[in-house]
Structure 1
């Protein structure tokens, strides 16, 4: 029987593709098993957001950026749902493994720190993309929204899922119990996603708040998807893509660094 080292030596271009694929597949199967919680529930929540805002203020709000308020709101709700699910997938996976004491089963196989990080990110990204595709289908078929720039929309969905999945890895590594994970979600992730132009255009904010909003990478994710869907945005999609790619690279590097050091992972 071959040892782990021998199996790990079977690499193409220095990457253990089989191990990386296996880890990503495990992460995907983990959320597909409970798809009613991980896929269906976010769709219901997004639908409730759209219904409540439309019924409560949609008629009085009028057009925003030259489109009906519902059309303006839908892309923000879509991206908010994507980032929350991508973050939840990676963070919960790592925290549960640490609490149950089986994180060692993930650390022992012949996978490098970068391969471990990318495997987790792949699972979170796919969950975010699946939610986005489902919501996008509803937007087109039910709400009658046409996608102005599908490629731009897809680019920012992928960047958003990657960024928040990598951020979820950081949060999962840091948190040693569910209370800490809940605090990170409630006091960092949720405020950042809500206060980044999800429900409004930042052009309506005071100048100081506009500057603060433009320092938030999530603003560019939401603004980029909005440009992809309705063709209007508060900033250039090229600038948004540059900021988001830089943010993904930085957070992924931090996650790799923590795995490399074994921070809060190894006893």
Structure 2
């Protein structure tokens, strides 16, 4: 019997949802990054701090207000979201690739976990890491800037959706990749450009019409714009539009990951 057969048999045996298995997978993914917290939680704080310091020292004094707020206040939400999504992506993609390189991916595929439970279990780790990094950076930014949050609920919604979207993209990247070089290529040529070219450091109103229109088909733009609305109360687009676009993107990526797990695409030995 193949891997898919064992999973189907286990799903029938344990009912519609294998809560024990799902919880075990989620706990494994969370503990995986907590044991190296200096790399997964402390290092992003340093990186975000360096971004803020460099941009503030380099062009902050010469730059006027953006969207009616100081440049550093405008920059902070973009740095926050960029760090969250990069860490969420790294958590899920690295977990799957490490298992494939070490040859123990079968230990995850053989237990009675359905494709949906596998997707949710991996995403739980990525979302948790993204949100923990976000909390640390948000506290640091609040201390440095001394400003409150304009719309806390909107901020929570968008950072959670951002972590979820990039966690799902990380699963897809991990399934596609068989070695670390391939993950690095996806990170450098897809994830980083999407986060940098989506209004992190600027308002898209300053772009030429073609570039502005191109930015608006990038779901990461809506994540950063939504986080900015949550923090400073200003944004380039409606947060409701961003909510629809990002939610649809999350569901679409989860469906893709579910399909690939169900078929065992690039996972079966």
What CA deviation, in whole Å up to 9, does each residue of 1:146-184 have, x standing for no partner? Answer: 100000000000000000000000000000011111110
Using the size of structure 2 for normalisation, the TM-score is 0.95
Tell me by how many angstroms 1:216 deviates: 0.1
Equivalent position SS for 1:72: helix
Query: Partner residue of 2:249?
Result: 247
1:6 Cα deviation from its structure 2 partner = 6.9
Task: Measure the CA separation in 1 of the matches of 2:139 and 2:178.
Answer: 38
Query: Which secondary structure does the structure 2 equivalent of 1:59 belong to?
Result: coil
Q: Provide the C-alpha distance between the structure 1 equivalents of 2:10 and 2:62, rounded to a whole number of angstroms.
A: 67
What SS does structure 2 have at the residue aligned with 1:64?
Answer: coil
Q: Identify unmatched segments of 5+ residues in structure 2.
A: 1-5
CA distance in structure 1 between the aligned counterparts of 2:40 and 2:264, rounded to whole angstroms:
29
**In structure 2, which of residues 70, 73, 76 is the aligned counterpart of residue 74 of structure 1?**
76
| Moved >2 Å (runs of 4+) | 3-11
Q: 1:203 touches 1:234 (CA, 8 Å); kept in 2? A: yes
Q: What per-residue deviation string (whole Å, max 9, x for no partner) do you get for residues 84-139 of structure 1?
A: 00000000000000000000000010000110011001100000000111111112
Report the Cα offset of residue 35 of structure 1: 0.4
| C-alpha distance in 2 between matches for 1:87 and 1:145 | 29
Distance in 1 of aligned mates of 2:176 and 2:152 = 36
Aligned twin of 1:9: 13
Q: Distance in 1 between matches of 2:187 and 2:71?
A: 28
Listed as ranges, the matches of 1:94-113 within 5 Å are 94-113=96-115
Counterpart for residue 3 of structure 2: none
1:39 aligns with 2:53: no
Matches within 5 A, 1:247-266: 247-266=249-268
- Give the equivalent residue in structure 1 for 2:153: 151
In structure 2, how many angstroms separate the alpha carbons of the residues matched to 1:61 and 1:9?
A: 63
Map 1:174-189 onto structure 2 (within 5 A).
174-189=176-191
Q: Distance in 1 between matches of 2:186 and 2:234?
A: 32
Secondary structure (helix, strand or coil) at the match of 1:142 reads helix
Equivalent residue of 1:183, what SS? helix
Contact 1:8-1:111 at 8 Å conserved across structures? no
Q: Distance in 2 between matches of 1:62 and 1:161?
A: 31
How far 1:83 moved relative to its partner?
A: 0.3
- Consecutive unaligned residues in structure 1, runs of 5 or more: none
Aligned to 2:52, which of 50, 55, 65? 50
TM-score w.r.t. the length of structure 1 is 0.96
